[in-house]
Amino acid sequence: MSLNAWQQFRDRVGYSVVALGCRFAQVKGNYPITKPINPIDIEVLADPKFQASVTEVADLTLLDTPRLANLWQLCRMTDPRGNILEVGSYKGGGALHLSNSCPERKVIACDSFGGFEKLDAELDHNFDDYMFKDNSRQKVEGLFKSRGRPCEVIAGFFPASCRGKTIAPVSFVHLDADIYKSTIESLNFLEDNRILMEKSLIVLDDYLRHADGVVQAVKEFTAAHKDWMALPMFPGQGLLVPRSSFGA
């Protein structure tokens, strides 16, 4: 499914506005792509279900097409008997996209719906207190109810919001917590409480994207849990993989 003329124009204008905003705010990191990404024969782009999902969630997520493609393909690689967990659902676009990739599986979408709990001035400098407050649990629940999809939306700061709840077994996690405290607490909770099935995958957003809190949390987690390894994925995601997946 190719973009129509209006969608192409909208995207060009959108990217230009973002770039202009970065210049006004003196934000570093508006890096050029010297050699454009070649979309020819990329099979996920030829999947009409993937393209339909990207169109459906376009206004419900900040994730771009490459990151949505990574989520789509990696989620499908995990055990279909496991639940899909998203921490940091915001408007629910990422969670709905994951549901579109595996419609039979239950999605557990977690978000505070009240922004961040605690920002570290040194590690979380990319984020501000006012961010991610313009949505509600009811709106995300409505996305799934209207489509008849299995989903549980949990409000509050994860993992405290899920203590006492049964969310296991989980085989795929999209951890889009943005900041140090939420990321390290989420990772430790999943591991310490044995929430994850064997050979589960965890995808982190904003990894190696100047979100120093996320990077620091991953370093500490993999140092403490040697059975996990972290792999970078373009553009700005990280993949946590159990070493057992490689027979190690």
If one compares 69 and 10, the residue with the highest pLDDT of the two is 69
pTM: 0.88
Q: What number is the average pLDDT over the span 6-18?
A: 69
pLDDT of residue 23: 55
Q: Look at the alpha carbons of 115, 117, 119, 124 in this order and tell me if their dihedral is positive or negative.
A: negative
What single letter denotes the amino acid at residue 181?
Answer: K
Least confident of 34-43, 48-57, 186-195, 221-230: 34-43
- pLDDT tops 70 at residue 181: yes
Report pLDDT for 246: 81
CA distances 100 to 31, 104, 118, Å, are 31, 9, 32
pLDDT for position 30: 76
pLDDT of 22 strictly over 60 = no
Strands, E, within 54-185: which ranges? 83-87, 107-111, 151-155, 170-175
Q: Check whether 95 has a pLDDT greater than 50.
A: yes
C-alpha span between 80 and 78 (Å, rounded): 6
Residue identified by tokens 């190719």 is: 2
The rounded distance, in Å, linking the Cα atoms of 215 and 180 is 8
Name 226's Cβ contacts closer than 8 Å, sequence gap at least 6. Answer: 243
Listed in sequence order, the residues at least 6 apart from 201 whose beta carbon sits closer than 8 Å to its beta carbon are 74, 75, 77, 78, 171, 172, 173, 239, 240, 241
In DSSP terms, 125 is beta-bridged to none
Instruction: Say what the pLDDT of residue 32 is.
Output: 83
